[in-house]
Amino acid sequence: MGYSRLRVGRSGRVRWTAYYWDVRGRERSAGTFGRRREADRAWQRAEAKVIEGRFVDLRSGRQCFSRYVQLVWLPSHVVEANTRQSYTHIVERYLLAEFGSMRMNEILPAHVRDFFRRLQQRGSSAFTVQRCRTVLGAIFTTALNDRVIFLHPCTGVRTPTVPVAPLRILTPDELEAIISALPDKRWRLLVEVAIGSGLRWGELVELRVDALDATTGMLTVARTVVELRPRFHPDGGRFQVKDYPKNQHYRRLLLDAALVELIQQHIVDNGLQHGELLFAAPQSKTAHPIAPPVGGATAPNQAGRCYRHGTMSGYSAGGCRCEHCRAAYAYYRALRRAAGKDRPPAGRHLPRDFFRQQVWKPALAAAGITRRIRFHDLRHAHASWLVAGGADLQTVRERLGHASLRATEKYLHSLPGTDYGAIEALARIRHRTTTATPAVDHARPQLIRSMRARPAAIGRGQRARRRIAGGRANVQAALRGKQDRGRSPANGTSRAHADHVIERVLYQLLSATREIPRR
């Protein structure tokens, strides 16, 4: 139970200080007042908050933002290593400069709004502002749960909308041009596996010989690898292998028989053993220095100093990028790699940046492709081609490893020609025609055509057949009832819309029951 203590100042002024005990049994002050009645009310309110679990540690709230984030939040926040690396970058580059010296209980929503406004004025993108909002919200949520603060500064603070660019799916012709431009058979197989499986980069470069069952053609995706800076790696390395892929669930998917044969041939040609990586980093080439010109010197740097060509000083301090200085730097790095420094020997994981700069971008240039195509776009192409070819969303979701169907639904209208039904319906009503001639005659997906022609033949069981037939009959009966009541085609439901509704109902039924046969 709390109490009030009498305090007499040097001037003889009488004051009363309210005391109470927190959840850990430590005596704390609830403030000093001029009358004892006010002090009693103060410690009673404080005790009530402790009992109700609404206790706020005023002493902890007075600590600065930088101390709480660096000593409390970052070390104890449970996230993946690559997420911790990303959060630390946001904290050190943006948040500490703005809130580092402020006390935790002094940061208000107005300060957060001003911070976001200044970020936009400095030219930061909407995505960067949203990332800062995410990290800042996580920090203050933890502080609120720890009773460090009593008000969440990010509550009610809005960030600019991040525009979502439409997916531009890779075409089969572009894919063939890229594969033909790849310089090595190993890289061509890597791209073939990526387009045939839809794996993420970390899952792809972590594939090992034992992940593929050559008899059944089933590929098991059970692990992934992420690239980290040494300060975020538990052992100070660069690659961290996780015993589970994204969303913490392994998955199995079937590969094409021709692709399985290519993988088996790759294993035999390279003498890969059980447990070895399918796509390991290649052996580094030995660099040799190029003799610099006699008496050659670099241009003066910002400090006005010049250095000899063909030296490390000319490359680093002088900033020269001639062939002699670049060769000297490459030779120096090759010697370090040969000594086991900087990079491990061959057989390690394939670095993403190495493949992007040395293999992928040169192949795009050789193929004559000018638009930006990422390696991850192969995953988008895999999913879009599956949906357009007739695969149901549930199968596509499982192959991609999505946590929910919402992430898979974005591939429904990613290819041209998927809105043919909508154009046909519009033409029927506007021009009062029975058929529509689209500007480009795109074929409808095979799944939609087969559902309209033979709905009962798609289901594998008697229960699925009854569901499909019943669903179609109900929709048709409802549409006939609207037309029988004398509604005109302009105000009622057209045949094209009726077909669209029927197709949507059948598609949802088949996706839910997962009874669409493989083709």
Strand partners, 16: 6, 33
pLDDT of 480 reads 57
Query: What tokens does 412 get?
Result: 């429904």
Distances (CA, A) of 330 to 144, 233, 321, 337, 342: 52, 27, 12, 10, 13
**Cβ-proximal residues to 395 (8 Å cutoff; 6+ apart), any chain:** 386, 514, 516
CA nearest 169: which of 389, 319, 14?
A: 389
**Start-to-end Cα distance in the chain:** 75
Per-residue confidence (pLDDT) for residue 476, from 0 to 100: 59
Taking the chain (519 residues) in consecutive chunks of 10 residues, what is each chunk's mean pLDDT? 84 87 77 87 82 66 92 93 95 95 93 95 94 96 89 92 87 94 94 95 94 93 92 89 88 94 94 91 63 70 86 87 84 74 64 91 94 94 88 89 85 72 79 54 41 40 56 56 45 50 56 47
> Minimal CA–CA distance to 252: which of 192, 195, 197?
197
- 139/258 Cα distance (integer angstroms): 51
Burial environment of residue 25 by CB neighbours within 10 A (0 to 12, 13 to 18, 19 or more): exposed
- Contact call for residues 422 and 494 (beta carbons, < 8 A): no
Beta strand residue intervals within 112-255, DSSP E = 212-213, 218-221, 224-227, 239-242, 251-254
pTM, two decimals, is 0.67
Q: State how far the Cα of 24 lies from the Cα of 8, in Å rounded to an integer.
A: 29
Q: Are 467 and 509 in contact (CB under 8 A)?
A: yes
Q: Under a CB-based contact definition with an 8 Å cutoff, are residues 100 and 139 in contact?
A: no
What pLDDT is recorded for position 389? 84
How many residues are recorded in the chain? 519
How many CA atoms are closer than 13 Å to the CA of 365, on its beta-carbon side?
8
Residues 6+ apart with CB under 8 A from 65: 95, 96, 99, 100, 101, 102, 103, 104, 107
Structure tokens at 363: 């192949």
Helix (H, G, I), strand (E, B) or coil at 21: strand
Residue 109, amino acid: P
DSSP lists the bridge partners of residue 64 as 103
Query: Is residue 290 within 8 Å of residue 210, measured between CB atoms?
Result: no
For residue 105, the tally of other CB atoms under 10 A from its CB is: 19
Q: Enumerate the β-bridge partners of residue 204.
A: none
In this prediction, residue 335 carries a pLDDT of 78
